Chains A and B, each alone.
Chain A
Amino acid sequence: MELAIRNRDLTKHYGRTRALESLDLEVPRGVVFGCLGPNGAGKTTWIRSLVGLLRPTRGRAEVFGIDVTERPNEVQARIGYLPGEFNADDDLTAEEYLRFLGSVRGQHDRDRFRSIAERLELDLGRRFGDLSHGNRQKVGIAQAFMSEPELLILDEPTSGLDPLVQREFLQMLREVRAEGRTVVLSSHVVSEVEAVADAVGILREGRLVVADAMEELKGSARRRIELTFAEPPPATVLQEVPGVRELRFDGRTARLVVEGSTADLVAALARYRVEDVVSHVPDLEEVFLHHYRTGGRQDDGADLQQDPP
């Protein structure tokens, strides 16, 4: 498996602030990797270390096997980067700005940004200073995509985008992946990462709490199940099934939570007549909140933006 990113003990301290602590992570090529965490969890510090804007206090960040600190420009030439606080010159039009960046990057096809601008419905003729926040973000996305880089590193890319443009943007990410290129994006919007990411890392107070493939994460998550029996529920049997938690009874119905695999529960139920099973497929948000609640001290993830139910 070829790696796009490899972090070993990656650490960044600012004085006594531990912005990033001993991060070990591998991201293979050709995937979309989503980094989740509330504001201040270390997402931006991690991303700015990856693109060579920050020097790690300790540890290594490799991109395509190249140490970013030792040979930044070799790495940077292969990256499309969207900063969390993207800004461009107020007095340049979007087109002038993108042309300038094309020349900085030695891009031969100087007009490649046009098709991206069209997809995002960005007016290239307006001055950057006159654009709304959402339209400025589109300029940022266009500059990151236009060089068709092998690796896209995007810090909160959908901030300020309206829902239609967000959908188009997620579609662009899927196309990038289909071409075998790699995307790393950070977000505090769980649903957006869930919609597009193959693998997810969760940062909390500078530490990587978990990083795994999306399916693995969801598979290991807590699953709420409602079982309705034909006769009174076998309480003692259910209590002894490994992984079963929060068991409650309501007449012939048992409500419970399973952590990890449901295989033991299914085997235990084989001897009973179960009339109805209602299972809630865990979503990434539950996974996320679970890791935030159990990863160290209690934390309700108050900074986390949750979608309305």
Chain B
Amino acid sequence: MTVPIFSKTLRDQRWALVLWSLGIGALLLVMAALWPTVRDLIDADLLAALPEALVELFDIDDMVTGVGFLNTEVFSILMPGLFIAYGVGRGAHAIAGEEQDGTLEVVLVSRLSRSRIALEKAAALAVSLTVLGAVGFAFTLLASSLADMGIPASYAANGALAMMLIGLQHGALAFAVGAASGRRGLAVGVAATVAVMGYVLHVAGVLVDGLEAWQPLSPFTQAIAAGPLSDTVPLGFAWLALAAVVFVVAALPRFTRRDAAAS
């Protein structure tokens, strides 16, 4: 079986993937270069001087280890942000973007069903995020060995998987909104709003006692609460993957029945 839409969608992303990989690599290597300085800076006096909430939120007491430093400085905001931005951008472009550009029009009038086209494109999104995850894994280990951070491969793998999944969950949401509506702007808007709300809920859950019970609903909590560099595969990962699948499947009936957007 050939998968022409899948192949082409991946091919379309090749330069974006290269650039994003360079960004991920640069981020990890720069942080690795900073780490020895940070490690020597943090001591008991500093921790005592900082507000307790700040220490708790940023896990500053963990930053004396390589794992703790990367979890706090890279894998809490910056790295999830990179993966979410990539997933949402490509997810919104996959159907709604191409539809509004007019490039999907001829492809839709073919022997391939709209469901098939959507599923091939969704698969390409998942594969491209997996590639970025693999790049993140490789650079985490490289950074670790260059700066002597002592990060085990299993920790790096879980961290990369968490990033891939949080990117995929938001990307699938943008993909689904775009497929259902044919509107790229709406797709980006909805996914970005969910990302911001998820982050706010995660942070608020750490700081406000009453919100702790709601925190597991946040994709950020699901992805990074365990580290994300850690030796456990948390249940949250399954929720992220399930949500991604549900978003895409839920959008299919609407996509197959609605009018194609005119360019």
Contacts and interface: CB of A to CB of B under 8 A. Distances in A.
A266 interface: no
Contact of B109 (A76, A85, A100): A76
Interface stretch (A45-53, A209-217, A292-300): A45-53
Contacts of A72: 113
A138 to B, nearest CB: 14
Interface in A56-102: 72-73, 76-77, 79, 81, 83, 85-89, 91, 100-101
A91 B11 CA distance: 11
Given A53-B108, A85-B102, A105-B111, A48 B262 contact: yes
B43 interface: no
Contacts of A79: 109
A77 B8 CA distance: 20
Instruction: Label chain B's interface by main secondary structure.
Output: loop
Contacts of B111: 73, 76-77, 104-106
Nearest to B15: A91
B109 A52 contact: yes
B110 A76 contact: yes
Interface size class of B (residues with CB under 8 A): 20 to 34
A94 to B, nearest CB: 14
A101 B105 contact: no
B52 interface: no
A48 B102 contact: no
Nearest to B258: A55
Interface in A3-53: 44, 48, 51-53
A53 B112 contact: no
Most buried by A among B4, B110, B112: B110
A51 B103 contact: no
B203 interface: no
Interface string B94-113: 00000001110111111111
Given A48-B262, A55-B259, A104 B5 contact: yes
A73 B114 CA distance: 9
B77 to A, nearest CB: 32
Contacts of A115: none
Contacts of A104: 4-5, 107, 110-112
B12 interface: yes
A165 to B, nearest CB: 20
Contacts of A88: 103, 106
Given A86-B102, A101-B107, A104-B4, 7 more contacts: A55-B259, A76-B108, A77-B111, A83-B102, A86-B105, A87-B263, A104-B5
Interface of B: 2, 4-5, 7-8, 12, 101-103, 105-113, 257-260, 262-263
Interface of A: 44, 48, 51-55, 72-73, 76-77, 79, 81, 83, 85-89, 91, 100-101, 103-106, 140, 143
23 contacts: A51-B109, A53-B105, A53-B259, A54-B259, A55-B257, A55-B259, A72-B113, A76-B110, A77-B110, A81-B105, A81-B109, A85-B102, A85-B105, A85-B262, A85-B263, A87-B102, A87-B263, A89-B12, A91-B12, A100-B8, A101-B107, A104-B112, A105-B110
Which 5 pairs from chain A and chain B are nearest by CB? A87-B102, A77-B111, A103-B4, A53-B260, A81-B109
